[in-house]
Amino acid sequence: MAVIVAITSCPTGIAHTFMAAEGLQRGAESLGHTIKVETQGSVGAENTLTAADIAAAEVVIIAADTKVDLSRFAGKRVYETNTKAAIHDGVGVIKAALEQARIKTSAAAQSNLVDQVAAAKAARAASIAGPYKHLMTGVSYMLPFVVAGGLLIALAFAFGGIYVYEETNRGSLGWALFQIGAPSAFALMVPILAGFIAFSIADRPGLAPGMIGGMLASATGSGFLGGILAGFIAGYATLWLNQNLNLPKTLAGLKPVLILPLLSSLFVGLLMIYVIGQPVSSALNALTAWLKSMEQSSALILGLILGAMMAFDMGGPVNKAAYTFATGLLASQVTTPMAAVMAAGMTPPLGLALATLLFKDRFSAEEREAGKAAAVLGISFITEGAIPFAAKDPFRVIPSIMVGSAVAGALSMVFGATLAVPHGGIFVLPIPNAVGNLPMYIVAILAGTLVTAAMLYVLKRPLGTLETPTTATASGTAD
């Protein structure tokens, strides 16, 4: 019997984080091992690993889609994977960790050339997943600023009207709320995004160059697109300098706090001012103008695409690409894609929950019980609530939820619904000015839910035998 510790983390820190933890716990238990899992979720770390836990562990598993600090695991055998693997095959991850985990060297040991070469090879091997993980790290740190800023702006409009930001309203509560939300919280959005992309790539030395590049992206008008570029440039430039700049031992202490941030900031700053800023600003302005001037036909197409993307992998890379696109546009005051994305993200679990209620002969007792949880996750805009159903019957469930989400996204765009915040589900709907054209937005969500349920009725066949309520209850209790 092995003693294992683990950390799980996803960009939003909500669903995948805890589902991955559950997958690892079940996998370890089925193999006869003991495990303690620290979840780094939206409210911070829970079930935190102590020094004693780490010292007693034979292997450390990191199942994360974001950057996780590994400094406390120096000298331990560490195995890294993503949350998807832990959710779908916890047993396989446990087995792979016990066989393939490698010793995590200390920061001092990594300073020699041999370890640098090994680290470079490992980075190249993970190059496919690397950029996505770095981007999601930036997004995860950016989200609280967008949520807080968006809600404060909505409340400012509720208290002071749509012209609350004008000088004639200076000193009022609405004006104060707007100052906190727009010029403050929203202004930090791009620098935070860029800074933590760079942090994910190059650790702490990349943070300052990334944030400086993000500030310059905002200053040059290149927005979130420029911020993403600045983060990657700053991160990889810092990483390259760290691996190739050899200094005497007397100057080694200055490298992470002075030399790397200075040189990287200089490099990314000059690129943003003289090379990248203006072209990306022009591209972002063109995109913003197109989105604001869309006719119903083009809005319909964009809504269909964004909606289908949200349901395709339920929190995976395609889903997060659509979500990141919509979230980034909030800084440019383009809020219709965000509304479409949230509507489309809510409908998969909501549609499945409705289908388990209406068409019980097509779902097992376990699935009908899971439908209750899916309903709660759906109203909270946690698309991952559909994953258990899709994993069991992907060829029927995934097309069904994609059609429903495409309908929800398309209707939201056609109705011109807007959303000022990137999360919250139905809990942000009552907030004044958080949602534009609220009645029709609710219609879009309901329509997507109904279409999802109808598609499931058409595609899924009735089960041979419908369990009795007693069996269903026993099954749900056992699970």
Active site residues: 10
Q: Does residue 142 come out as left (phi exceeding 0), alpha (psi in the -120 to 50 range) or beta?
A: alpha
Kindly state the DSSP code that residue 463 receives in the 8-state scheme: P
The tokens for 247 are 């200094």
Residue 427: partners with Cβ closer than 8 Å, 6 or more residues away: 379, 380
Nearest-10 crossing angle of helices 438-459, 336-358: 40
Residue 52: partners with Cβ closer than 8 Å, 6 or more residues away: none
Which DSSP string corresponds to 242-298? HHH----HHHHTTIIIIIHHHHHHHHHHHHIIIIIHHHHHHHHHHHHHHHHT--HHH
Choose among 132, 143, 179, 159: nearest CA to 330.
143
- For 474, other C-beta atoms within 10 Å of its C-beta total 13
In contact, 49 and 36? CB cutoff 8 Å: yes
The tokens for 136 are 């999601």
Q: Could you give the count of Cα atoms lying within 13 Å of 164 in the half-sphere of its Cβ?
A: 24
Burial 296-314 (b: 16+ CB within 10 A, else e): eeebbebbbbbbbbbbbbb
In contact, 224 and 329? CB cutoff 8 Å: yes
